[in-house]
Each structure stands twice: as structure tokens, then as C-alpha cells.
Structure 1
């Protein structure tokens, strides 16, 4: 089922005991952030703060999709669905894109603020982490931009935004991101780039906004496929952009060319505060539209597991799987605890060097500068089972011939393991751990048998034990 809006999703979370309504007033200054972060680390329920200090009439929701259970519910699946089941369903849906439809109006237009009425501070944006550069209003929302050239390309992307003043925001825009490609064109022409920030859309729209369909492609189409229903869009008030009609909050305006104001730092998806305070592009706000009693959705990113880890487990895994489709790959996973930096691939050992071939395919794809580490295992390892993966690394990866490191590769400025100078220039390194048995090893002599239930007992004994499992008293 497709949710019409965030509020329908909240109703489901309440029915499923996946939401806590916090009635007492919560301070936007660190208290709300600390509650949300603590809830992630305990794998607790999502939180809906009914009263936020200095933000009358506004609410805040922390951790909307911060667990696999809530991600499954957002997709209309059972909260008990496994990671593999969620991943398979995700893969299936985004293969069937559905284009959005334009509607005349929506609940996001219940309040329209322009001119002196614009005030970004009124919505209770949190100081999420101690040490952040400011209050971040956009941590679980997406920015819509349109290509300057007459290509029709509209990009949805999830990029952070920090409040500077009542009508100014700053953010990190990297050249390798889709928004970065667009902004470079506008800036070169010395033109402001129109944008619209969408906060509190239905959960799948927001997840769609975190994906990357690629240059010229539409994330709105991907979101439609994930929802199994077209996204309803409405025109903005001051820019030529369309946004989901029932979002809680829409911020419109322009990214100014050749203007920089210091932004950051911010506790990022990597689990560390890695990007220093630096001059970064500025978003000038020309209009804010919002629902009555709006809900500001917040993802307080940090050490896993939170929304960033959940979404990367699905979206970036799908990218990796597509890059590997011509190779003898059995399964692909991105463990949530890897913060998006680790891909685990199981393979059939069809030929010598298959692990290197796998790593090259991933690093040669558009994940190349995002995912520095690859683990390749044999097909008897469940890549979704972190215990089995760790066991394979510690028992099958030869400390010399199984380790392949590559210096001076393209990297991401947020990699915590890079030096300041390396982050500045985007210079990194890659690592492959080959945990497969060498192809030439004799299976009767050199490859030791795996001592697990499904490997070391005859099938008839396995069936007997499984058939009598409850009778044994388990």
C-alpha cells in the first residue's frame, strides 16, 4: 500500500507499537538530538515530539525509518521481514518505475509564507549533535533541482542544510553529486539555481529522494515504483519546480552563484564529524509552504544503525548488484554496520582472480568513490549474516595474498580514515579482502570441510533433527 502522507505512516507505526509520542516539551538544543540518537543505539521506536521549545504549533519526528522493521512497514511489508526479503522487494520495485502525476494543490499549501513572514527557525530545527556548526533543518528530507540546460532533468537528492539566518541556509555540495553537477552549470553562467527542499513527505518519497537515478533520470519515477503508485506533485510558489503535494514542509528558493558562507561541521552518516567548518554554497529562501501543525522529520545520523545505514543497505546494494550482473555472483549485501563503505559479495569460484574482478566492477561503477572496501566470500557464506562474514574474514582471508590495497583512488570527503589533506583533494584508497578458497586447491585435501549444521551432516540426519526439533524441547 502507498501512504498518502507522513501522517498515515505515523498511524501505522502507532498500531504496530513502533512509535513513542513524547508529550513533555523537548528542547531543540541537543535534548531532542540526544533522545533520537539514544533511541537508534537501543534500536528503539521512532519518536514524535508533540512540543518543541520555541516552536509553537510545530512537531518533530525522530528516526522515521531507523530500523529494518520500520523500513519494511514503509514499504507495506511485515515488520518481521528479513533484510534479504526487504532488499529483494526493493530491487523488484525499482525495476518498474512509475512516473509522477501533477495535481492542482495539496495539503503542503495550507500555509504560504513569503517576504518578512519567512522564518526558518520557527519549525524547531535541532542542534542535533554537540559540536555541530548550527541547527540543521534538513536531515531527513530531499532537495529538488532542475538542470539549467533544456534536458528536462529534475534531480531529487538528500543533502544536508544548516540554517544561517531566517531566510538563508548553507550546505555541503560535492562536484560528484547530481546537485553538484547542476550547480556547476548555474555557477559558470553566474545564475542562481532554483531549489525546493521537501521535508516530511510520505516515507517512500523521502527514501526515493535519497536514491540516485543518475544524470538525466528521475528519482520521482523510482519513488513511484517503490510506492507502486505515482507520486502526486504540485507546483511551487516561487520557482519552476514540482514537489510532493502532501509534504509537511516545503522550502523554496535559489542557490546563489559564487557566494560562500561557512557551514558545518556536522555528525555525518559515517558515524563521525569529519567535514570541517568551511565556506560552502548558500540557499536563499523565497517562500515556505507547510501543513497545519507541521512535523519536521529528523534523522540524527551517527554510529549505525540509523536511516542512512538502512537506505544504503538497499539502494547502494542494488547499484553494486547491477554492476556485477555479468559476473558469477551469488548474492550481494551491504551490512548496515559498514556505514555504506563496505560491500560483501558471495561468488562461485569459476576462475582464478574472480574476487579482484568483482572489486574492479564495483570500483568502476558510480559507487566507486563512495564504497572503498569490498569483501568477497564463497557461496556457502550468507552475506546477510554478519557473523558468517566475520568468520570468513578471520579464517579464510590470507593475511598477505588475500589482502589487496590500492592507493590514490578517488574518494569521498567524508571518509573518516582520510587525512585532512586527502579529504581536501578527494584522494583515498581501496581495500579488497579475498575470502575465497583458491581455485586450484584440491577439495579433498586442501579445502577443509566447514563444520556447520548444513555442511557437515548427511541430509537424512538434518531432516530428522529438523523434523523432531520441537519434540526435543526446543
Structure 2
């Protein structure tokens, strides 16, 4: 796989016609406002902002990066025209086989084209947008890697957490309780030590995606990224902290988080589509070194009203994880899984099965709604027959409208695992649970042989018509 840095991936995206360059948009309102309009429709192009007023020529911002299946395909090395279910199957295989290559240290790379230390450090020279109209300031870290090392085991973790620019050499990082980097930081602080941290804010999308996933505790995201690339990620060590960063990253900085050193952070419009997280004091990174390539690209994955980058790429991964866990629980004949982007890839899950016995659909729905990959913030779990494409919301709603038997096809479950970011959790401060609904939208099993025939051409008929009339048919 050749596209191992952000620029290679961008060139491939441009080649398939999914890159839009916009010149002259300012970062306080216009860049975020434009991205918001782009994100409202899945499949819109990635957007590269160039010649940003008030910033050095060549400094660019890239957003709306992973809101199409073709662009995610390119990031993981699949053909761009692979289908949604091809991508889900790729994630299933990747998670089962868990390929990895430990990173290889090199002596420098494109990242060291510009090295700033001490008083020369200035994050404000990077054109960082205020992504939403009501955000508390510019967030340089949305598609970022926050890198820390466990002081006990030496395990290096790369996580995606929101990072707000607070000044030339100051940033805040918001890490929820229980997250891996938060645990590491607390270990340092309990010993009265400052926590070393490095932040990368421009990198190949595959590395960013892995940093946002539930990679197991003790495993390296950089090694997992090597499993996607088929060879080790080349890394270099930052000079003050010794923490590893990809040598071909666009922008990186390092520093220390001291005990009890906090600053007001946020708000930031979040992946649920609300300002549910609010504004509160968060840990401060006091930056000592900053590096960037010539003509650096700030990478943004903007949480917002779905669909957005986070909900879409996380959704394809989560589909594979749920599918694997359904089969591990003994659910037979699973034919497809889709976590709909409008539900933030968590609130809505559709599972397609080939029904084998009475109760099969309900069993699949119960497991999908409560297995580890599907339980967090789930609200709707829909089970459909194998003739329904779970990624086609029109077909799913049609199945719900015409195949649901309300006498036994609806189950309401209370007390599910949720989050303070869920606007309908019981209580964001003390009781982060929710209710959820499981819908059996399959043909009733007792009527499987007598249910009305679907009024749609067969697959064989479709293939026959397409073979003869393809040039006259609408694009797929």
C-alpha cells in the first residue's frame, strides 16, 4: 500500500474526484461554516482550504475527510469503489486477524522541516478554525493523535481527544474518565510528576481512525496502523519527551501536563449534534517543542450534527465489531450490519439476517443491542431480512413499515449503557443510562412461506437489464 502519508491519500482522493479546494476562507467563521454545510450530505467531497487570510502562504486546513465510503476505502487500502458491506467485511477481517508491525525509528523525516522551541513555539500560526458558531474557541485537535507513555509498563498509547488552542504555547486536552491517556496522566500526577505528552494534528487518516477506536488496553495504535500499511510506521522521537510521532506527520507538538494545572475548556459541538459536554476546567499542555512540514496541513474531523467524520468512519468499524460479536454469541446467518450515520454510528443499528427459526430475529436484536460494540449509547436496534440492505435507510424504513408486527415485534429495554453526551440519558452527572428499543422488522417467521411477494425485479433480471442498457441507466 503506497499511500502512507496524508498527501499520498489526498492525491488518491483527488484522482477519484472527491477533493474540493477552496481559496480565501477565513477561519473564525467561514471555514467552519463551509464544513458544516458540506457535512450535511454524505458523499460530499473532502475540502482543502488554501490561502487562509492572515496566515502564512501554504498553511492549509483539510476537513470533511471520511464522510464517504470511497475515501475510507482508500485510507485502508481497498479499491475506492468497494461497497459498504465490502468495507464492513474488511473491518471484520482486520479485527479478527489483528495484524501489526511495531514502528521503526528513523533519524528525522519531513516533520523536521520546521522545528520551533521555547519562545518560538506559536500554535496561533496554524490556521485553526472555530469549527462551530458557538464553540469556545479554536480546536486544533479534532483528527489528532494524543500520545502518552505508561510510566509503569512503557506502553505507548495514541488516542483521539479534543485539543483546544489556548495561546501560543498552551493547549488544553479533554479526556473522559477511564480513557487510556487519562489513566496514564493520573499515574504521573499521583507521583507528583508532570505527564509528558505529544500531539499530532496532521497525519494519514488510517492512523487517525485507529486512534479513535477501541484498541485494547496495552496495544499500540501505531503498531496496528502498520498492520493496515503492511509494513512498520516510521516514527521519530520528540526531543523533550522522547515520545514517538510519525516522521511524515504534518504538524506535531510536545510538552507536559503538570498536576492540578487546568484551564477553562470548551464548549465544542459534539458528535451527538449537541453541546452536551459544556465548558469546564481541563488539563493544560505547556508546549516546549513544535514541528511542522513545509506548507503544513491541519487535519480536521469535526464532531457535529450527524453525519460527520466521526460518526461515519467509526460506524463502518463498529459494524464489523458488532457482526463479529453476534457470531461469537452464536447468532447464525448474519448477512449485514449497519450503524446509521444519522444516529452518530451508535444510536441506530440495523442487522440483516436469514431467519432460521422462530425467535431468531429477537435473539439477534437483543445481542446486537447489548454486546460490547453495540451497547454504548444504543437507542434503536432494527432487525431485517436478508433481502434488505441494512445500509439503505429507505429499504430499512420500508421493512419497518410493512413487516413489523407490533404485538410481539417491539421491545423496550431500560437501564442501558449510555453517556453524558446522550441528551436523553437518565442524568448526565449521576446516572448515565438510557432506554432503548429493539424492533423486529423481519417478515413474521410463522408467515415466512405465505408472506406477499416483493414487487421488485430479481437479481437475475437486474443483471440482464444492466448488461444491455447500462449507458441509459442512472449511476449507481
Q: TM over 0.5: same fold?
A: yes
Change in Cα spacing, 1:407 to 1:199, as seen in structure 2 (3 Å) is: same
The equivalent of 2:457 in structure 1 is 453
Q: Counterpart of 2:108? A: 105
Distance 1:463 1:132 in 2: 49
Could you give the per-residue CA deviations for residues 404-436 of structure 1, whole angstroms, max 9, x where no partner exists?
Answer: 2222332122113336x3356423233322223
Matching residue of 2:308: 306
Q: How does 1:247-396 map to 2 (within 5 A)?
A: 247-326=249-328, 327-328=331-332, 329-341=334-346, 342-362=348-368, 363-396=370-403
The answer for the alignment partner of 1:173 in structure 2 is 175
What is the aligned residue count?
A: 464
Moved more, 200-209 or 287-296: 200-209
* 1:132 to 1:105, Cα distance in 2 relative to 1, 3 A: same
Q: Does 1:38 align with 2:37?
A: yes
Question: CA, structure 1 residues 235+433, in 2 after alignment: closer, same or farther (shift >3 Å)?
Answer: same
Over 3 Å counting, the alpha-carbon distance change for 1:219 and 1:361 in structure 2 is farther
- The answer as to whether partners of 2:365 and 2:439 remain within 8 angstroms in 1 is no
Maintained 8 Å contact 2:121/2:168: yes
Distance of 1:356 and 1:149 partners within structure 2: 45
Structure 1 residue 132, shift from structure 2 partner? 0.5
Provide the rounded CA distance (Å) in 2 between the counterparts of 1:194 and 1:138.
17
Q: What is the SS of the residue equivalent to 2:135?
A: coil
Structure 1 residue 473 displacement after superposition: 7.1
Shift of 1:472: 12
- Choose from 408, 430, 436 the match for 2:436: 430
- Distance of aligned partners of 1:337 and 1:244 in 2 relative to their CA distance in 1, 3 Å threshold: same
Contact 2:92–2:324, Cα closer than 8 Å, also in 1: no
**C-alpha displacement of 1:190:** 4.0
Return the offset for 1:31: 0.7
Contact 2:382 2:440 in 1 (8 A): yes
Alignment of 1:79 onto 2:84: no
Q: Find the partner of 1:119 among 79, 100, 122.
A: 122
CA 1:46/1:187 → structure 2, altered by over 3 Å: closer, same or farther?
same
Deviations 1:385-404 (A, max 9, x none): 22221112222233453222
The 2-side partners of 1:191 and 1:354 are apart by: 54
Deviates more, 1:169-178 or 1:122-131: 169-178
Deviates more, 1:311-320 or 1:370-379: 370-379
User: Could you list the runs of 5+ residues in structure 1 that have no partner in the other structure?
Assistant: none
Change (3 A) 1:468 1:308: closer
CA deviations over 1:26-61 (Å, ceiling 9, x no partner): 211011111122222354322222222332142211
Contact 1:141–1:297 (CA under 8 A) maintained in structure 2: yes
Q: Is the 8 A contact 2:122 2:169 kept in 1?
A: yes
Say whether the 8 Å CA contact 1:383–1:389 is kept in structure 2: yes
* Consecutive unaligned residues in structure 2, runs of 5 or more: none
Structure 1 residues 381-390 or 131-140, which shifts more?
381-390
State which drifts further: 57-66 or 71-80: 71-80
Query: In structure 2, what is the equivalent of residue 131 of structure 1?
Result: 134
Q: Distance in 1 between matches of 2:470 and 2:428?
A: 60
User: 5 Å matches for 1:202-217?
Assistant: 202-217=204-219
Q: Cα distance, 1:15 vs. partner?
A: 3.0
Determine the C-alpha separation between the residues in 1 that align with 2:223 and 2:130: 33
Q: Does 1:185 align with 2:187?
A: yes
For 2:151, the equivalent position in structure 1 comes to: 148
1:465–1:6 Cα change, 3 Å: closer
So what's the TM-score if we normalise by structure 2?
A: 0.88
Aligned residue number for residue 67 of structure 1: 68
CA contact (8 A) 1:212 1:219 kept: no
Q: Please give the alpha-carbon distance, in whole angstroms, between the structure 1 residues aligned to 2:439 and 2:389.
A: 16
Match of 1:136, SS?
coil
- Distance apart, 1:236 and its partner CA: 1.4
Matched residues in 2 for 1:281 and 1:355: separation? Answer: 46
Verify the 8 A CA contact 1:67 1:306 in the aligned structure 2: no
Residues 238 and 353 of structure 1: CA distance in aligned 2, closer, same or farther (over 3 Å): farther
Deviation per CA, 1:280-327: give whole Å up to 9, x if none. Answer: 233332221111221111223323333212211221112212211232
Question: Is 1:244 the counterpart of 2:246 in the alignment?
Answer: yes
Which of 410, 413, 424 pairs up with 2:420?
Answer: 413
Distance in 2 of aligned mates of 1:469 and 1:304:
39
